[in-house]
Amino acid sequence: MEGADRFQMLIPEDRIQARIAEMGRQITQDFQGRDLVVVGVLKGAIFFLTDLVRRIDLPLAMDFLGLSSYGDATESSGVVRITQDLSRPIVDQDVLVVEDIVDTGLTLAFLRENLLARRPRSLRICTLLHKPSNTLREVPLDYVGFTIENRFVVGYGLDYEQRYRNLPYIGYLPLPQAPAG
């Protein structure tokens, strides 16, 4: 893919898929005997959500929510907007939010408060990536795929200026090295 060669590999595709399989088994066990509503956060979580729900052996419904806090920037603005709302109420439902990355926690805190106000039976959060060094607001994370350092990552749904989501791995853009001296 043009331009993709500038990214360094962080998490290869086979490791991503193995971890998703583990997470799917755990979620299946945790929600055994219950119907589940899986809420994917657009656009970044779509690849993760698709692979994850295929690993969850339960009856489930899927819905989507669009949020924006980045625009085309590489850092969160801290201002969160809902760009697409759920299509159905979640009152008295067991809800699993599937997110691509938890960075500062500001977007997820906003989303969690918003969804809790809709009175679900339970609300759990699943993220593929977590950057704890950037945390500005603590949010309980029930399922975490990988904990990573503070790097700007792309691939497997994560983008830079809406590009590179389709890379099958997670990569990062190395920072320029300071001259020795």
- Indicate which residues carry an active-site annotation: 103
Q: Confirm if 64 and 40 have CB atoms less than 8 A apart.
A: yes
Query: Taking the C-alpha atoms of 41, 46, 52 and 56 in order, what is their torsion angle to the nearest 10 degrees?
Result: 70
Q: What is the DSSP letter of 133?
A: G
Measure the CA–CA gap between 168 and 157, rounded to whole angstroms.
9
Q: What is the DSSP letter of 33?
A: T
| Torsion sign, CA atoms 10, 154, 15, 135 | positive
Question: Strand, coil or helix: what is 20?
Answer: helix
Residue with tokens 């939010």: 97
Pairing status of strand 170-172 against strand 122-130: unpaired
Structure tokens at 20: 């998703």
